[in-house]
Structure 1
Amino acid sequence: MVTYLNDSRPTVNFYDGEPLKALATLSYSDISHLQLSAATAFSEISEVDARPVSREALEPVLYLLQSPHIDVQHAASAALGNLAVNMENKLLIVRMGGLEPLIRQMLSPNVDAQINSVGCITNLATAEENKMRIAKSGALLPLTRLARSRDVRVQRNAAGALLNMTHSAEHRQQLIGAGAVPVLVDLLSSEDPELQYYATTALSNIAVDESGRRLLRETQPTLVSALIRFVETSTIKVQCQAILTLRNLASDDEYQLQIIEAGGLDSLLPLLQTEFDPLVISASACLRNLSIHPDNERPILDSGILPCLVNLITGSGNEEVQCHVISALRNLVANNDADKTPFADAGLFDHIKSVLTSPGTSDVVVGEMVAALSVFVLDESLWPFVLSGGFLELLVPLARSHISELQYNACATISSLASKANDSSDVCSRLVQVWDKPDGGMQSYLATFLAVDEGMDPLLRSVAIWTVMMLLESESPELVQLVLAHPSIIKNIDKIAQMSALPEGDPRLSAYTSDGGVRTSRGFDSEGYGVEDGDLGDDNDDDIYQRLESMAQDVVALVNNLDR
């Protein structure tokens, strides 16, 4: 029979018509060796031809899967596993009730039956629609048990199935309930690289959730040291995944400290200096999270990693690396008020300027660089480097960017420099230089943000009013004159100051309040990557409008005093 199938396979479709009818007849026979012939035939055929099949083609295979004879079960589950590489077949197998006999076969003492049934469920679990059915089918407990099997083939298939179930928060919680976490951690001690990879990847996904990190922290005290060991000694694939697991764990401040204390920095530094992008990406992403904790600033800087991070801004052609390292540097600067001139001495601003002036730099990287500048300019030891580095001329055009976060950070950086005008003649002279150029200069975007008929984002309007106030308080006759002589800036601020006096329902209020929402990206972002910059985002709508009115009224009062 098998010889005939091998000879006919190139020309015959065994999933339809007379060939399928013949195989079905053998499948439903009461004679076990005929059933075995059919099961073996389906296994052989599906190994080289895993096309989408009909319910009629799957029915005899599922029937054979329920045979009392282990060799028939074994061949039938192999056929299902082969067919389950096709997405349409994955869904159809589960819809037709294929999970229940597969679970029964997983419980078999026969290793070959375990391998095939678990391998089939691993394939089925790659379909999103199937995951909930698998979770509710009772399969998670036997999968977890088989992940402890003495046979590495069974372990691999079971660990792969568990991994495939970790791609949503709901299923991760179900895995936790099935006791999978300690099993996955135990698999880290395996000598098999595939098992190491499956376990680290599954744990990395579990560590995405705060509840998962808390469970790992409370129940798995050896996890961090095991992951660091992989970073130093395992295959590149496992190294990358171990670092990414550490990165996800480092979304919590307890893990940020623990990883440093366990020697994680010593493992990361060599990887940042490799030429293999996946390792550099993983290591820089992990360091980005570690840099969040203020207590980690000193150990990170003492490790000698600063020059490496600065050089990667331009030395790496990978956007992810550039974004991670500049964010890590931003976090390190924001952590305390200590002298930060070593950052400038390492060439930080030269590298940032090189990236910002490169025509090939993406908007994403430019956004990260400008977000970092908005933090650096707040530091007393670094803002002079922002000024002298010629960044004002680069930031003014970005104040008109179509990307709101980039636009806001560019304006906030300029505003922060303007706040130094009262103490620095250099600041005043450079602000004068960018008043009307490039791209219309500061006066152009200030006028745009203050136009009450435009429905402007109130955060941008706040920055504009604050900037005008700083220019007027600079005591620079030239700056003050430029502001007062503008045809609309003070006029529109006066209108904003009077908005609170308008009756409810006045149509002029719509232009003032037609904002899409107030940005509140403070603290860690959704992946725990780092501290966001700025200090306006915590306000609610009422607060921001009250602040606008108050600042506008202060500017009007300041102008009146100047007139006197």
Structure 2
Amino acid sequence: MKLQESHQLHQKTVNELDSLKAEYNVLLADKAKLRGELDEVRQNLLIEGKQRKAVETELHKLKKLVPENDDDFEILYKIFDFMFAVGLEKILQLLTSGDIDVQIHAVKVVANLAAEDINQEKIVEEGGLDALLLLLRSSPNTTILRVASGAIANLAMNEVNQCLIMNKGGAQLLANTASRTDDPQTLRMVAGAIANLCGNEKLHAVLREDGGIKALLGMVRSGNSDVIAQVARGLANFAKCESRGIIQGHWRGRSVLMEDGVLTWLISNTTSAPASCRRHMELALCHLAQNEDNARDFISSGGVKELVRISVESTRDDIRHLAKKTLRLSTTFKSEMHGEWP
């Protein structure tokens, strides 16, 4: 009996030893596989680093060709040809380069690529939007802030991208950028980006909560007509979405823009604004006036008289027609005018 037990114990030990040997062999194979994969990753990183260095070197050679005013499209397109040759992924990697000159010229290329609809989806898929937002968050360079804001404005022409920009905190970053600079060109780009976001009714509540509308109005401090034109365009987009939402039954009530002092600003500045600003201001007034819950604000502020003036004096036929239609359909405005306007 003891001999049998001893034999069984020996056999059990042998089996366990064989099992451990098998597991050890598996671990050795796994280790060899992992070592091979690690070597491959290291090799890829070395290749990636060399490619990145080559792109940076070429970009250094080309950077003197890039015009400061971005108007020399022939030269820019020569750079585009080079960038397409190395690939969009490599371009976007340069946005995080430690060389400020490389960053500047890379973001200029991305901004121009983003102006084309065909490139926008790919830029976002490759992480370009995240890289641009990171530049707004961290870069102290005025040129980078200006061009990155312009690139985001281009991407914000697309409804899907608008939602992504908002979800990633883009409105807050744009508002913060506006508060950090007095450069008119940067403010124009930031205002343009926010104006595009204003064209999406679904984003209005968050846009306002994140300080987008406050920042938009704050940028009129620049006194620059191009900046003010973008501010007015944003307000017109916002008001148009509101009036369309009311017509479609999405919501009703007094415009949130009234609480931000928009009506007072529009009435005070429409007649004296340059033509590029005036048409947006007039459209904003017409769209705000289409909301019957805004009627009392228009009456108390003199907005009805401004609407009458627009219906007669606007240089745009479509805006004159819209103002007349708005006055004609509002029972409150008709009562206020007492037959003074046909």
Q: What is the TM-score with the length of structure 2 in the denominator? A: 0.71
Q: CA deviation digits over 1:173-228, x for unaligned, max 9? A: 8567534322211111201111111111111111111111133234x1x2112111
Tell me the alpha carbon deviations over residues 127-174 of structure 1, each in whole angstroms, 9 at most, x when there is no partner. Answer: xxxxxxxxxxxxxxxxxx998335955432246669999947987985
Considering only CA atoms, is the larger Rg found in Structure 1 or Structure 2?
Answer: 1
| 1:13-24 aligned within 5 A | none
Percent identical among aligned pairs is: 17
Q: Distance in 2 between matches of 1:318 and 1:213?
A: 29
Match of 2:174 in 1: 268
- What corresponds to 2:104 in structure 1? 197
- One-letter identity of the residue aligned with 1:232: R
Q: Are 1:367 and 2:279 an aligned pair?
A: yes
Cα offset for 1:413?
1.9
Q: Distance in 1 between matches of 2:72 and 2:264?
A: 43
- 2:236 counterpart residue number: 330
1:246 to 152, 157, 172: 152
Q: Residues 378 and 416 of structure 1 are in contact (CA less than 8 Å); yes or no, is this contact kept in structure 2?
A: yes
Cα distance in 1 for residues equivalent to 2:87 and 2:267: 49
1:432-455 deviation per Cα after TM superposition (whole angstroms, max 9, x unaligned) = 23x3xxxxxx6xxxxxxxxxxxxx
Distance 1:331 1:397, change over 3 A: closer
1:208 aligns with 2:122: no
Over 3 Å counting, the alpha-carbon distance change for 1:402 and 1:338 in structure 2 is closer
CA distance in 2, matches of 1:402, 1:332: 21
> Which of 279, 283, 289 does residue 196 from structure 2 map onto?
289
- Select 2:263's aligned residue among 331, 343, 349: 349
Task: Give aligned pairs, total.
Answer: 281
* Aligned twin of 2:136: 231
Distance 1:357 1:161 in 2: 43
Q: Residue in 1 aligned with 2:289?
A: 377
Q: CA deviation at 1:419?
A: 0.5
How far the C-alpha of 1:368 sits from its partner, in A, is 1.0
What is the root-mean-square deviation of aligned Cα atoms in Å?
3.3
In structure 2, the residue corresponding to 1:414 is in which secondary structure? helix
Greater share of residues in helix: 2
Structure 1 residue 417, shift from structure 2 partner: 2.1
In the alignment, which of 223, 238, 241 is matched to residue 317 of structure 1? 223
Q: 2:263 and 2:82 mapped to 1: Cα distance?
A: 47
Q: Which residue of structure 1 aligns with residue 95 of structure 2? A: 188
Structure 2 gap segments, 5+ residues each:
1-48, 246-250
Which whole-Å CA distance do the structure 2 matches of 1:324 and 1:428 have between them? 35
One-letter code of the match for 2:258? A
Distance 1:369 1:155 in 2: 43
Alignment partner, residue 320 of structure 2: 410
Aligned to 2:44: none
2:85 aligned partner: 178
The residue identity in structure 1 corresponding to 2:286 is: S
Distance 1:264 1:380, change over 3 A: same
Q: Matched residues in 1 for 2:91 and 2:287: separation?
A: 40
TM-fit CA distance, 1:377: 1.8
Change (3 A) 1:182 1:399: same
Q: Residue 302 in 1 paired to residue 209 in 2?
A: yes
